Amino acid sequence: MKQIAILSGKGGTGKTSVTASLASLAKKRAVLVDADVDAPNLALVADPEQFFHQSFVSSKKALVHPDRCQQCLACLGPCQFDAISLSLDYPYVDPIKCEGCGLCAYLCLVEAITMEPHTSGYLSASITRWKNNLYHGRLLPGGENSGKMVTAIREKAEQYAKEKGVEFILIDGAPGIGCPVIASITGCDLALLVTEPTLSGIHDLGRIWALAKHFQIEAWVVVNKSDLSLENTNKIKKFCQDNNLPLVAEIPFSDDVVKSMTIGLSTYEYNPNSIFSQQILNIWNQLVNFFQTVNSRTE
């Protein structure tokens, strides 16, 4: 089982479009993970049928017990997050503002405030129309610990892949280089870095590559919408050359991406003969050949 993280460093590069097309091509050979738990969208084109759903509890929030409260209001002022207010003659804790530090519970001498487990979001598993499993999650507004949620999702995907002998796990990562991205890339066998020929795309390619290098993970680059700025595409090529980064695909802009998404299909499904789809097929073949070579060396 090999794990491939599809990352971008920024939003809007086409990372999920690439992931969805790879998933529709791989079918049962791959398990899917949507690691963007703040704004998951891989399911929008996967037509998933959910078979697992559970609460994700990763933190605690303060809870006031009115029957114990003596209205001393010792907890009211010290809260640095302005999470406690006076309501109906006893303090009320706003769960959105509460950071779970526990100061109010510590200050309450009659134990009228306790720290209770708080549901931060939900974990789900579904089967897509491509017949591969998709593991995903969503944080509730104000939900915390996105990195922990991504780790929990990946653990479920890894367990299933090991039990069923699935060859690949494709991880659609969140944009940026924060906690969910770190949780997405840790322990992966390869990072597929999808960028675009813009100044912000070039800048964030450098950031996400530095993250992959920090974790000593093999990285490949895909330039999406490569014909929008040939000057910037050439800059990306030079960046790859200077840093010995394989540039495995240059995908020109295509209306097929927009058209396919509007009807809920991956671009590869929508038009397998398009330039976009042929580049996706090329990326997939390179991935398969690369890991076959790696496996033969280790045997």
Q: Exposure of 172 by Cβ count < 10 A (0-12 exposed, 13-18 middle, 19+ buried)? A: buried
Contact assessment for residue 159 and residue 189, using Cβ atoms and an 8 Å cutoff? no
User: What pLDDT score does 293 carry?
Assistant: 82
Domain spanning 2-47+128-298: which CATH class is it, in words? alpha beta
Q: Are 90 and 66 in contact (CB under 8 A)?
A: yes
Q: Where are the domains of the chain?
A: 2-47+128-298, 59-119
Tens-digit pLDDT profile for the chain (299 aa)?
899 999 998 888 999 999 999 999 999 999 999 999 988 999 999 999 999 999 999 889 999 999 999 988 899 889 999 999 987 678 999 988 898 999 999 999 999 999 999 888 999 999 999 999 999 999 888 777 788 999 999 999 999 999 999 999 999 999 999 999 999 999 999 999 999 999 999 999 999 999 999 999 999 999 999 999 999 999 999 999 999 999 999 999 989 999 998 999 999 999 999 999 999 999 999 999 999 887 776 65
Residue tagged 């959105």 (tokens): 96
Provide the CATH number for the domain formed by 59-119 in this structure. 3.30.70.20
**CB of 10 within 8 A of CB of 176?**
yes
| pTM of the predicted structure, to 2 decimals | 0.89
Q: What is the pLDDT of residue 90?
A: 83
Query: Distance between CA 137 and CA 274 in Å, rounded?
Result: 32
Query: For residue 268, what are its two tokens?
Result: 């590869």
- Whether the domain at 2-47+128-298 and the domain at 59-119 fall into the same CATH topology: no
